[in-house]
Amino acid sequence: MKHEGQPGNSEWVGAAMERFEGPLLRYAARITGDLERAQDVVQDTFLRLCCEDHTRLDGHLAEWLFTVCRRRALDVQRKERRMESIDDLELAEPASLELSPATLAEQRDSTSHVQRLLATLPVNQREVVCLKFQNGMSYQEISRITNLSLGNVGFLIHTALATIRQRLHAEEKLAANSHRRNL
Amino acid sequence: MKIEPDDPRLTAYALGELDEVDAADAALAVEESPECRQAVEEIRATANWLRIELKNEPCPKIPVVVQPENEPKAEADEKIIPFSNTKIATIASIAALAACVLFGFILPNWWNAQKKSPQLLAKNEAQPKPEIAVTPAPTPIPEVKTDTLTVTTQEPVPVQPTPLVPEVSAFSDGLGLSPATLEEKPKTVWDEAMMKRYGRMMRPAESFPLEGGAMARNALVDGGRVSQPSVLRKQDGRTAGSPSSVAELETAPALSSPATDGSSLPAYQAMKEKLEKSKRMRYALQMRPDGVGPSPIRQSSVTALYEKLEENTFLPARENPLSTFSIDVDTASYANVRRFLNQGTFPPEGAVRVEELLNYFSYDYPAAKEGEPFSVNTEVADCPWNPEHRLVRIGLKGRELAQAKRPPSNFVFLIDVSGSMQPTERLPLIKQALQMLVRKMTPSDHVAIVVYAGTSGLVLPSTSCAHKEKILAAIDALESGGSTNGGEGIQLAYATATENFIKGGVNRVILCTDGDFNVGITSQDALVRLIEDKAKSGVFLSALGVGTDNFKDATMQKLADKGNGNYHYLDTLAEAQKVLIEQMNGTLVAIAKDVKIQVEFNPARVSAYRLIGYEKRRLRAEDFNDDTKDAGEIGAGHTVTALYEIVPPGGSVKSPGVDPLKYQTTSKPEKIADSNSKELLTLKLRYKQPDGDTSKLLEYPVIDGGKRYSQASDDFKFAAAVASFGMLLRDSEHKGNSRYETVLELAEEGKGRDESGYRAEFLNLVQKAKQLRTGR
């Protein structure tokens, strides 16, 4: 049995943190909608990693981290939701990352193009897109992380890509038109 | 392999996600189709663009903070609710204020202790004394806030901080688990690297201000069950083998280690039970306004409505030989249950309708004979959750209709565009779903669009699908805003449908809403009457429900029921794909209406029976022959499944029971017409043609061939698994030996070919429920 305090483990956890802290934070923040809570989630994730025997995680460390992180983030987010439905009278919207058009407009200047496009996707599509293209996970890994079926993951990515493609096309056209007008 | 440009497999191929064999097939298909080639190129370009752009998204860093300060925390609390709405912001700041007040109550000790933590830590490193062994604890603020707030709403009296801490301890991982009693454990749970990084989270044992915390601490070390996998639990688990792989972690049961001090275990268990109860109660209150709620605030805050459901009980066949109900093809409950479980919570009992779970799946029943709208078949075998009982499965399958043979359709999309529809999984999802449907329609089909919000309007007059771009553009232009006047919109939609009525065609209003009717005809009864009245015009209704919190499940179900229709809940685009594309004909083309089932049981063979589910579809025995009584529709290719659990003669059944009668003897059997009949029951069906007014009767005697469970068909096993799952979710008193494990076994055995993958998804869902039950 490995003990967490072993020197080898410490190095290993340190390396994992170096490499994955940022990506996990980005990921958790998408779920919790709040960086501070994301920080707690990620810290918690690494704490759990300390208790793991690293030889057994070899090869699927990233998958393990994202899985644990996701579950923890969802837990945290759920707690927030529970609170809201108790103390709010008129909260019709779920406490997810849904952004109203007004908020989107406000953020337009500060957020990048890709973020704006992502924000128009349903939450589940956004998540798999980030896992796939930001974190380089395979369909298989995404399926295991999110507990969605492989087919479902494929469908979500397919649909998301189709939407993004369409939007990019539309924007190009728009840009071309306005360019012409400006001439 | 034939691949359309719009096939998920093509995307998988473009991204290199197919295995060798499939990839080779796909490559061939792509070779042949220029459209596919183009699509693959575009997909790859988009994917590359995404990769590059997303890589540029800055990675946040966790700041290395050592000194916690009070003020920033309070601010953070305000930020917790990410809404832009000012009203909400006000509520949030009140909440934050309340939280601050409470912090004042319980936190000073905590903060003081925290400030000491670096010194203690240093001391700890220098001389490893077990009593100041350090346990990691995540910043507890959000949790504390949640729970304190709950308590505030529950009891307006000054909060007693004592019960708070155990609750917090048990609900949040690692929090307050600082073990003075961890002598035998290795000192550092805490990894060096972690310490450097997250030093601010250090908490010595002394930081526990209240005795409740100590109780929790002891109890946890004693190996009580922890509500969530926590660091400590895992640490204990090392004695039993550390759950290392992801799968193991997911399913790891609560671990227990040899108790170092058994005396505090009962105390912990009691506390845990109390917590569980309060958690459950809070949840019930949240979802079920019909529950008894002590707090008026809480009651008014509830907007998602699930009607309470009284389960069918066992009825003695002698006194109640007839069981009558209407068929049901709704599937909404399953999608809704799936949403809850995927979010990691159990659905409220009222949201679980077993018949809708059963009918979410298609079963491989034989096709209907020529000239008949549906086939009827039955199967009897052992009841898996009660080996002494028998299970009867009744299955109907609507006649299949070739996609091309769909009669011309006249659809009116009635779309709720009120403010509540704004989130992505509402109006935007509906728009995508309807566009998907329109793309599948043919030039002989017509579509009109009616929207309703504060006012209603015809956005698009009935338009032939020869002009799809026009329809697609109209859908695209829909925007949400305003309040909801459902009544007026419904009237306009039906008027439009009647105006463009296609005789012999499919005439249907497709209502898309979160069901939150709040202006106009507000009373549900009035709305139902309106729909009932409109249904007589021969226009059918499909209700597509979206949204979560203020979703009116009951309203939607009733509308579809009364409006000659079906009701589906769309939680994802994939679900829309299933309901509107894969099962388009089933959803949209009714092939028989007012389908009623009446079963007459033979008391010589059946002591008692119970219809599983269909609580909302029960009819009176005399309604069966009454053609004015409305019942369910069956769509093309739809399968409908119903299960009866049967107690054989001599079997006992737990029923409330009545006193024996004084003036007549009920216990002695009256003359049974044919006591030698081998028949178990007679199944009678009535239905009308979609445009007919008089019903036709079908009769099928059913004999119990004594089939063992192992001989039952796959579909039988799978349906039994689904019913068993439904009973577990409802915590039904009739669930017998049902357990999630057995549901999994049953469903696995009965999975069959499962071409669409829905049964695999079911297995996944059961797995989740199981984890939720055992793991938390």
Residue A137: closest C-alpha in chain B: B17
Burial zone of A86 (CB within 10 Å; 0-12 exposed, 13-18 middle, 19+ buried)? buried
State how far the Cα of B322 lies from the Cα of B596, in Å rounded to an integer.
13
Q: What is the CA radius of gyration of chain B?
A: 30
- Give B314 to chain A, closest Cα distance, Å: 37
- Compute the Cα dihedral for A111, A112, A117, A119 and give only its sign: negative
What pLDDT sits at residue B661?
64
Q: Where are the domains of chain B?
A: 8-55, 70-296, 315-401+591-657+671-775, 405-570
Contact across the interface for B193 and A123, Cβ inside 8 Å: no
For chains A and B, count residue pairs whose Cβ atoms are closer than 8 Å.
285
Q: What's the whole-number mean pLDDT along residues A11-35?
A: 85
**More confident site: A61 or B456:** A61
Give the number of residues written for chain A.
183
The residue ranking higher by pLDDT, A85 or B458, is: B458
Give me the pLDDT at residue B3, please.
Answer: 79
Question: Between B599 and A8, where is the model more confident?
Answer: B599
Cα–Cα distances in angstroms (integers) from residue B575 to residues A127, B264, B433, B604, in the given order: 18, 49, 9, 45
- CB count within 10 Å of CB B89 equals 13
Q: Which residues of A touch B548 (CB under 8 A)?
A: 94
Nearest to B191 among A13, A57, A130 (CB): A13
3-class secondary-structure state, position A69: helix
CA distance B487 to chain A (A): 21
Q: Check if B257 contacts A (Cβ < 8 Å).
A: no
Of B93, B105, B96, nearest in space to B73 by CA: B96
Q: In this predicted structure, what is the pLDDT of residue B457?
A: 80
State the pLDDT confidence band at A90, using cuts at 50, 70 and 90: very low
At B230 the pLDDT is 34
> B342 and A147 in contact by Cβ < 8 A?
yes
Task: Give the whole-angstrom CA distance, residue B396 versus residue B638.
Answer: 8
pLDDT, one tens digit per residue, over B731-752 is: 999 999 999 999 999 999 998 8
Tell me whether B75 touches chain A (CB under 8 Å): no
Considering only CB atoms, A87 lies closest to which of B50, B82, B153, namely B153
Where are the extended beta strands (E) located within B478-629? 506-513, 540-545, 565-569, 590-601, 608-612
DSSP B329: -
Phi, psi of B755 (to 5 degrees): -65, -35
User: ipTM of this predicted complex?
Assistant: 0.81
Does B573 contact chain A (CB < 8 Å)? yes
Scanning every residue of chain A, which has its alpha carbon at the shortest distance from the alpha carbon of B300?
A89
Nearest by CB to B142, from A37, A60, A102: name it.
Answer: A37
Express each pLDDT in A126-182 by its tens digit.
999 999 998 889 998 999 999 888 889 999 999 999 999 888 888 777 777 776 666
Closest CB to A88 among B17, B88, B235? B88
- A 35-54 → B contacts, CB under 8 A: 35-40, 42-44, 46-48, 50-53
- Structure tokens given for B174: 């690692």
Q: DSSP string of B623-675?
A: GTT-TTS--EEEETT-EEEEEEEEEPTT--------PPPSSS-SSSPPPPTTT
Give contacts of A113 with chain B, Cβ < 8 Å. 53
pLDDT at B549: 55
Question: CA–CA separation, B748 vs A125, rounded Å?
Answer: 28
- The stretches in chain B having pLDDT less than 50 are 65-191, 199-303, 518-521, 668, 776
User: Which of B40, B50, B298 is the best residue to mutate to test the A interface, defined by the most A CB atoms within 10 Å of its own CB?
Assistant: B50
Find residues 108-167 of chain A whose CB sits inside 8 Å of chain B.
Answer: 112-115, 120-125, 129-130, 132-134, 138-139, 144, 147, 149, 151-152, 154-159, 161-165
Picking from A47, A51, A134, the nearest residue to B54 by CB comes out as A134
The answer to whether the Cβ–Cβ distance between B193 and A60 falls below 8 Å is no
Q: Do A47 and B300 touch (CB under 8 A)?
A: no
What does CATH list as the number for B315-401+591-657+671-775? 2.60.40.1230
If one counts every other C-beta atom within 10 angstroms of the C-beta of residue B180, the result is 17
Which CATH number, 3.40.50.970, 3.40.50.1000, 3.30.1360.70, 3.40.50.410, labels domain B405-570? 3.40.50.410
Is A18 near chain B, with CB under 8 Å? no
Tell me if B412 sits within 8 A of B510, measured CB to CB. Answer: yes
